[in-house]
Amino acid sequence: MSLWDKRDDMVVHEREPFNAEPPPAALAGRTTPLDTFYSRNHGEIPDIDPAAWRLTVDGLVEQPLELSLAELRERFEEVEAAVTLQCAGNRRAGLIEVRDIPGEDPWGPGATSTARWCGVRLADVLAEAGPLPDAEHIAFGAPDVSRLAEPAQPYGGSITLAKARGAEVLLAWGMSGAPLSRVHGAPLRVVVPGWIGARSVKWLTRLTARREPSDNFFQTSAYRLLPAGDGPGPGGPGQDRPGTDGHADGIPLGPIALNCDVLSPRGGRRLPSGPTEIIGYALAGDDRTVARVDVSVDGGRHWVQADVDTAESPWVWQHWRTTADLPAGEVEITARAWDSTGAAQPESPVHLWNPKGYANNSWARVHVTCE
């Protein structure tokens, strides 16, 4: 065991703050073992005394609350649900190949994982506080601080009240049968299914009902899809430059975009030619499900439909698999998912490139050599 009880073969992008993804093969199961669940942190991991910890519920509510863990457990129904978390930076490495993104980690396909989360519904806690009619957003506060931002910034974010009222949004103290660990947000974290991982705030201390989204840095500045701007690569003259028009502060990310990737075989491998099993995951995002996954082993000229797991809920990824006859030589394996609205992933990362490297949901591509 190495850092934070994670397996030694995790791909560690940074030790402090700790940022690591599992090797793709570790994502082949429906739930991800705790010792390989990806870990994304912006600051030092807090060490919170659960007995002294309180959750404050305030802002535009009829009845502000202050709840201990014992009170949360006693006063609200306990629920457990499988939910996939996915970082907005998942697959950023594919955007970095288009144009460099200095200062951001080159996540591969593993900034996503699935656990069975245990806790209470955020909606039930909010119902007790009674949001006032002008409340539109629920902001989440946490004690950890990012020192990479200048000046240093506490972590936080928000979701709409409409999303917060969904029965799927949890305040979790348990993860896949174990108590929530320190690195994953103990004693209590938010789990926002279908939305980018950044909104699933760990080490939660405060819920605030507001008219506007959270004014926390990670809502107002980070986790926004900024215009590509000028410069080398796919941008060029005529594109928006940050600061030159009303959209320059970007699109705040909430619901996840339809995505998929190949888990096996992985790129760079040498394998025997002939029938080969190809497996991967797909996640539709928001409240959609994955309806189809197409796989090509000739760079997209011919496609076969993979066998896709039945969606047990929109909140959990669906694995897919097919067996393809790989010819000898260099082979490009391509996969693309379609969702329940009939939308498909975009083909290329070139026009998805953005300065922070979020939401790369272009077709999955891996290159292998067959002998």
Give the bridge partners for 146, in sequence order.
153
State the minimum distance, in angstroms, from the CB of residue 88 to Mo ion: 5
Chosen from ligand MTE, Mo ion, none, partner binding at 184 (C-beta under 5 to 8 Å by type): ligand MTE
Q: Sort 49 into a burial class: Cβ within 10 Å, 0-12 / 13-18 / 19+.
A: exposed
- β-pairing, 224-225 vs 251-252, is antiparallel
For residues 76 and 121, the answer to whether their CB atoms sit within 8 Å is yes
Query: Which of these, 191, 193, 198, lies nearest to 213 by C-alpha position?
Result: 198
| Contact flag: residue 286 with ligand MTE (CB under 6 A) | no
Two tokens at 71?
């009170």
Q: How far is CA 82 from CA 119, 142, 290, in A?
A: 12, 24, 16
| Contact flag: residue 184 with ligand MTE (CB under 6 A) | yes
Nearer to ligand MTE, 200 or 208 (CB): 200
Nearer to ligand MTE, 261 or 294 (CB): 261
State the minimum distance, in angstroms, from the CB of residue 38 to Mo ion: 9
Nearer to ligand MTE, 148 or 328 (CB): 148
Helices (H), the chain: 69-75, 92-96, 122-129, 161-164, 217-220
Give the bridge partners for 366, in sequence order.
333
Nearer to ligand MTE, 38 or 281 (CB): 38
> Residues near 338 by Cβ (< 8 Å), separated by ≥ 6?
258, 290, 291, 292, 293, 294, 344
- Region of 197-205, 235-243, 329-337, 354-362 interacting with ligand MTE (CB under 6 A): 197-205
State the minimum distance, in angstroms, from the CB of residue 197 to Mo ion: 4
- Region of 68-76, 194-202, 282-290, 312-320 interacting with ligand MTE (CB under 6 A): 194-202
For residues 252 and 223, the answer to whether their CB atoms sit within 8 Å is yes
- Window 75-104: contact mask with ligand MTE (x via CB under 6 A): ----------x-x-----------------
Instruction: Report helix, strand or coil for 257.
Output: coil
| Contact flag: residue 202 with ligand MTE (CB under 6 A) | yes
Residue 118, CB-side half-sphere exposure with 13 Å CA sphere? 11
- Window 30-59: contact mask with ligand MTE (x via CB under 6 A): -------xxxxxx-----------------
Q: What's the N-to-C CA distance of the chain in angstroms?
A: 36
Chosen from Mo ion, ligand MTE, none, partner binding at 356 (C-beta under 5 to 8 Å by type): none
- Window 111-150: contact mask with ligand MTE (x via CB under 6 A): -------------------------------x-x------
State the minimum distance, in angstroms, from the CB of residue 44 to ligand MTE: 10
Q: Which residue of the chain is nearest Mo ion when measured via CB?
A: 87
Nearer to ligand MTE, 41 or 334 (CB): 41
Nearer to ligand MTE, 111 or 258 (CB): 111
Query: Which of these, 251, 231, 229, lies nearest to 240 by C-alpha position?
Result: 229
Q: Which residues bind ligand MTE (CB under 6 A)?
A: 37-42, 85, 87, 142, 144, 155, 184, 197-198, 200-203
